[in-house]
Amino acid sequence: MYFSTMFWFVIIIAGAYLLGSVPTSVWLGKAIKGVDLREHGSGNAGATNAFRVLGKPIGTVVLLMDMLKGFLAVNLTFLQHEIDPGSESWMLLRIGLGLLAVTGHIFPVFAGFRGGKGVAAITGAALAIHPWAALAAMGIYLLVFLVFKISALGSLSAALSYPVWISWVFHSEFLTIRIFSIVVVVLVLVTHRSNIGRLVRGEEKVLFRKSGS
């Protein structure tokens, strides 16, 4: 029984990281456009650079697939039956698997450990962990992006709003989720430190420009 339990925990832990490690943008860029996304644009393998370099259709697929990686990783919890659903330990496991997927996205074993910034993957994980708070934060992203057309500014605004939605609007009873919301802020700030510098200097590029501009 012990070895069976350990086997499934090893499977889901490794599975979460490997799911996150699927380099959607890199593979699609090479297969469809014949380019390594990391050698163009910002040099990042995330959805924003995919939109900029590979175009809206491929960028949309990359965004959805990267979100799906985080969402599926969190739900690998259903492959084990030792921890009771709805418990603090259950939520801790779900969060841990989501963060493993994000780690895989940032440091993908299938792409030389050079990946994206993890925003799409962590959004997918957040949707699985607390859907309403995640959707609210996504709304903040869309609002900021529609006004300024700068994806990084939208991502930073959404991340900073996430703890507010979790703790003060939806009043999550799970301490682990409240801690996770802070981890999200720290992660996004760290992975976007170069964007923050460009934003401060007024050098961050808009994602979509109008034709002829």
CB-hemisphere CA count at 13 Å for 15? 17
Q: What is the DSSP letter of 34?
A: S
Averaged confidence pLDDT in the chain: 93
Share of the chain above pLDDT 70, in %: 96
d(C-alpha 8, C-alpha 132), whole Å: 30
* Element containing residue 63 per DSSP (H, E): helix 56-74
* Amino acid symbol at 60: T
Residues 108, 112, 114, 120, Cα dihedral to 10°: -20
CA dist., res. 128 & res. 201, Å (int): 36
Does residue 187 or residue 210 have the better pLDDT?
Answer: 187
Q: Judge whether residue 213 has pLDDT over 50.
A: no
Is pLDDT at 62 greater than 80 in this prediction? yes
**Whether the predicted pLDDT of 66 surpasses 90:** yes
- Tokens 């699985």 belong to residue: 128
Look at residue 211 in the predicted model and tell me its pLDDT: 38
What's residue 55's pLDDT?
Answer: 93
**pLDDT (tens digit per residue) in 67-119:** 999 999 999 999 988 888 889 999 999 999 999 999 999 999 999 999 999 99
pTM above 0.75, yes or no: yes
pLDDT at site 8: 83
Residue 209 has pLDDT above 70, yes or no: no
- State residue 7's pLDDT score: 83
How much is the pLDDT for 118? 93
Tell me the pLDDT band of 206, cut-offs 50, 70 and 90. Answer: confident
